């Protein structure tokens, strides 16, 4: 884009850069022509002169223009940009045409790292999953993002590698594999070509990772854009917390969520634990993961971002929702590490209270979940795998207090995940996934919308039939509350998932 509109935008970006405004973190990057480096808006270095600044919406654009990432502000830590907030192929995005939706869906798949090996998918995998040719995907993606999907993919891989080299002591060979490179030789060559130093030189230049740390696990850093109501997010999880698989700490000096992890990726099963601890002052998150999750670190990073909605863009969301929900500017949509777990818990929670759903889930975990040893107090169980629930006897489920319609829904859902490859994670096709969910017995629109909102990360999900939502919107006395809620919600598109969270919060307070 050129002309007065682009120049006006760049002037606004420069003002944000001068103010080091963290609300714009990850929404643009600044290439400094005098140094050849590109930075986040929050970088603490001296502000460059305006004439030396070039602005880019994507890190891949900056690297494609020949800029190298800043070693101080570390662009790899920035929240993801707009692509993740555009859903995954749902027609509600009336302002987007099919080409834009396809490009955004491809970016989602790259950012979610949901390749068969737990790393970023290849170009061939991307095109195949989207049902288009490589050539068509390249053309559409470049028109939408200004870079080819291969450039976008390569930048993501390089930035992932840069983060692993800086934050961990993982061997370079393992960093190469986790970042999606076929060989160490290829990794070294591409890294040196783009960053003008070798992986080992980068690691030496950044110094050794803190060797005095006594806590077990791998520690990585993440960032988010303010405002973020950390207390509200953790309270949401705390009210639904199931003993054995999760724990929430809500102290002023320690705000964290801990969970056990059980993931099936491709033909492999991975289990372990994580602890996500907030630094609200620095708008950062420290993520500690068990060593057993090393093979799927990129997936875990992406899913941790989804769990805590770290990539939300409050400026865009609040522009639409602030007038209707003025007290909710810092609220985020709680996500999930495992969409299958979230979907089962949604089924268990149908038409009962949150407390009752928590009790049923705890029983299910104790009966069918496998034990696990962790260094985190209270974390000692894994959520049941799809195979365990698909093959469970109805009597065994019934003894837990689960009624027959819920038994049928749970086993149908587990069977679909196990045998049909039903994908329940960010990056999955929302429209197709919701259709598949609603085709299962016992799963209606409310459950499908709830799964889309929390597991698929669809920002415009709206469970119009939700009774609590009706009360929050003052529609409990209406003859057709679901229809009226749907009509009322049109003003909140495309951020209705956030409107739902804000409405629920207002009802609770």
Looking at the fold, whether 383 and 405 belong to one and the same domain comes out as yes
Looking at the fold, whether 90 and 194 belong to one and the same domain comes out as yes
Whole-number pLDDT of residue 300: 95
Q: Which residues contact 9 (CB under 8 A, 6 or more apart)?
A: 55
Looking at the fold, whether 73 and 87 belong to one and the same domain comes out as no
Range of the domain at 299: 218-321
Looking at the fold, whether 249 and 350 belong to one and the same domain comes out as no
Terminal-residue alpha carbon distance, the chain: 45
Looking at the fold, whether 355 and 370 belong to one and the same domain comes out as yes
Per-residue pLDDT for the chain (509 aa), expressed as one digit of tens each?
444 558 889 999 999 999 999 999 999 999 999 999 999 999 999 999 999 999 999 999 999 999 999 999 999 999 987 543 333 333 333 345 677 778 887 888 888 776 555 566 677 878 887 888 988 888 998 988 889 988 999 999 999 999 999 999 999 999 999 999 989 999 999 999 999 999 999 988 766 455 556 789 999 999 999 999 999 999 999 999 999 999 999 998 999 999 999 998 878 899 999 999 999 999 999 999 999 999 999 999 999 999 999 999 999 999 999 999 999 999 999 999 999 999 999 999 999 999 999 999 999 999 999 999 999 999 999 999 999 999 999 999 999 999 999 999 999 999 999 988 799 988 788 999 999 999 999 999 999 999 999 999 999 999 999 999 999 999 988 899 999 999 999 999 999 999 999 999 998 87
Q: Is 183 among the domain residues?
A: yes
Report d(CA 149, CA 140) in Å as an integer.
9
- Structural domains of the chain, count: 4
- Of 293, 321, 349, which one is at a domain's C-terminal end? 321
Judged by DSSP in three states, 478 sits in coil
Q: Are 381 and 369 in contact (CB under 8 A)?
A: yes
Looking at the fold, whether 358 and 455 belong to one and the same domain comes out as yes
Q: Is 469 among the domain residues?
A: no
What are phi and psi for residue 254, nearest 5 degrees? -155, 100
Task: Please state the pTM of the whole predicted model.
Answer: 0.92
Looking at the fold, whether 297 and 195 belong to one and the same domain comes out as no
Instruction: Specify the DSSP class assigned to residue 374.
Output: -
Q: Is 370 among the domain residues?
A: yes
User: Is the bond preceding residue 343 a cis peptide, omega within 30 degrees?
Assistant: no
CA atoms within 13 A on the CB side of 386: 22
- Of 460, 481, 502, which one is at a domain's C-terminal end? 460
Looking at the fold, whether 446 and 358 belong to one and the same domain comes out as yes
Q: Is 475 among the domain residues?
A: no
Question: Nearest to residue 274, comparing CAs of 301, 314, 239?
Answer: 301
Whole-number pLDDT of residue 314: 96
User: What is the CATH number for 43?
Assistant: 3.40.10.10
Q: Is 351 among the domain residues?
A: yes
User: What is the CATH number for 349?
Assistant: 1.10.340.30
User: What is the CATH number for 230?
Assistant: 3.30.310.20
Q: Is 332 among the domain residues?
A: no
Q: Are 84 and 170 in contact (CB under 8 A)?
A: no
Looking at the fold, whether 73 and 157 belong to one and the same domain comes out as no
DSSP calls for 187-246: HHHHHHHHHSS-HHHHHHHH----TT--S-SEEEEEE-PSP--HHHHHHHHHHT--TBTE
Question: Nearest to residue 158, comparing CAs of 37, 289, 68?
Answer: 68
Looking at the fold, whether 344 and 455 belong to one and the same domain comes out as yes
Q: Is 497 among the domain residues?
A: no
* Active site residues per annotation: 39, 466
Looking at the fold, whether 87 and 179 belong to one and the same domain comes out as yes
Whole-number pLDDT of residue 5: 57
Report d(CA 154, CA 186) in Å as an integer.
12
- CA–CA distances in Å: residue 228 to residues 19, 120, 330: 19, 28, 4
Q: Is 509 among the domain residues?
A: no
What are the helix (H) ranges across 401-444?
404-419, 430-438
Whole-number pLDDT of residue 144: 87
Q: Are 255 and 234 in contact (CB under 8 A)?
A: yes
User: What is the CATH number for 151?
Assistant: 1.10.10.60
Looking at the fold, whether 300 and 189 belong to one and the same domain comes out as no
Q: Which residues contact 435 (CB under 8 A, 6 or more apart)?
A: none
Whole-number pLDDT of residue 75: 97
- Of 77, 94, 121, which one is at a domain's C-terminal end? 77
Angle, CA of 391, 393 and 398, to the nearest 5°: 135
């Amino acid at each position: 884009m050129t002309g007065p509109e682009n120049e006006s935008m760049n002037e606004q970006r420069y003002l944000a850069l001068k103010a080091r405004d963290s609300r714009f973190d990850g929404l643009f990057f600044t290439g400094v022509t005098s140094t050849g480096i590109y930075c986040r808006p929050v970088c603490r270095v001296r502000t460059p002169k305006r004439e030396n600044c070039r602005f880019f919406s994507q890190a891949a654009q900056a690297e494609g223009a020949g800029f190298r990432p800043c070693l101080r502000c570390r662009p790899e830590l920035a929240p993801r940009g707009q692509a993740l907030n555009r859903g995954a192929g749902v027609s509600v995005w009336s302002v987007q045409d099919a080409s834009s939706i396809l490009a955004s869906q491809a970016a989602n798949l790259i950012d979610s790292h949901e390749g068969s090996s737990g790393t970023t998918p290849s170009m061939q995998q991307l095109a195949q999953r989207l049902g288009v040719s490589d050539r068509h995907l390249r053309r559409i993606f470049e028109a939408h993002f200004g870079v080819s999907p291969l450039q976008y993919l390569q930048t993501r891989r390089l930035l992932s590698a840069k983060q692993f080299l800086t934050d961990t002591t993982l061997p370079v060979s393992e960093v190469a594999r986790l970042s999606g490179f076929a060989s160490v030789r290829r990794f070294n060559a591409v890294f040196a070509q783009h960053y003008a130093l070798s992986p080992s030189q980068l690691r030496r230049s950044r110094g050794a990772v803190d060797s005095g740390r006594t806590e077990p696990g791998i520690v990585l850093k993440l960032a988010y854009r303010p405002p973020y109501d950390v207390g509200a997010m953790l309270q949401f999880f705390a009210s639904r917390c199931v003993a054995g698989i999760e724990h929430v700490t809500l102290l002023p000096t320690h705000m964290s969520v801990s969970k056990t992890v059980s993931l099936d990726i491709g033909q492999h099963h991975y289990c372990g634990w994580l602890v996500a601890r907030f630094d609200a002052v620095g708008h950062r998150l420290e993520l500690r993961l068990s060593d057993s999750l090393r093979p799927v670190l990129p997936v875990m990073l992406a899913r941790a971002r989804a769990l805590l909605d770290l990539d939300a863009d409050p400026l865009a969301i609040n522009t639409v929702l602030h007038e209707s929900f003025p007290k909710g500017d810092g609220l985020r949509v709680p996500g999930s590490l495992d969409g299958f777990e979230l979907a089962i818990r949604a089924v268990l929670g149908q038409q009962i209270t949150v407390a009752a759903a928590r009790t049923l889930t705890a029983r299910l975990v104790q009966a069918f979940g496998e034990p696990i040893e962790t260094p985190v107090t209270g974390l000692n169980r894994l959520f049941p795998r799809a195979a365990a629930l698909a093959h469970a006897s109805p009597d065994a489920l019934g003894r837990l207090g689960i009624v027959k319609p819920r038994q049928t829904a749970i086993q149908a859902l587990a069977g679909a995940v196990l045998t049909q490859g039903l994908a329940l994670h960010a990056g999955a096709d929302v429209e197709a996934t919701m259709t598949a969910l609603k085709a299962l017995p016992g799963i209606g629109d409310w459950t499908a919308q709830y799964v889309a909102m929390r597991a698929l990360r669809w920002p415009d999900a709206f469970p119009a039939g939700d009774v609590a939502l009706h009360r929050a919107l003052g529609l409990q006395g209406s003859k057709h509350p679901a229809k009226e809620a749907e009509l009322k919600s049109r003003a909140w598109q495309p951020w209705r998932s956030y409107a739902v969270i804000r409405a629920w919060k207002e009802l609770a307070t």
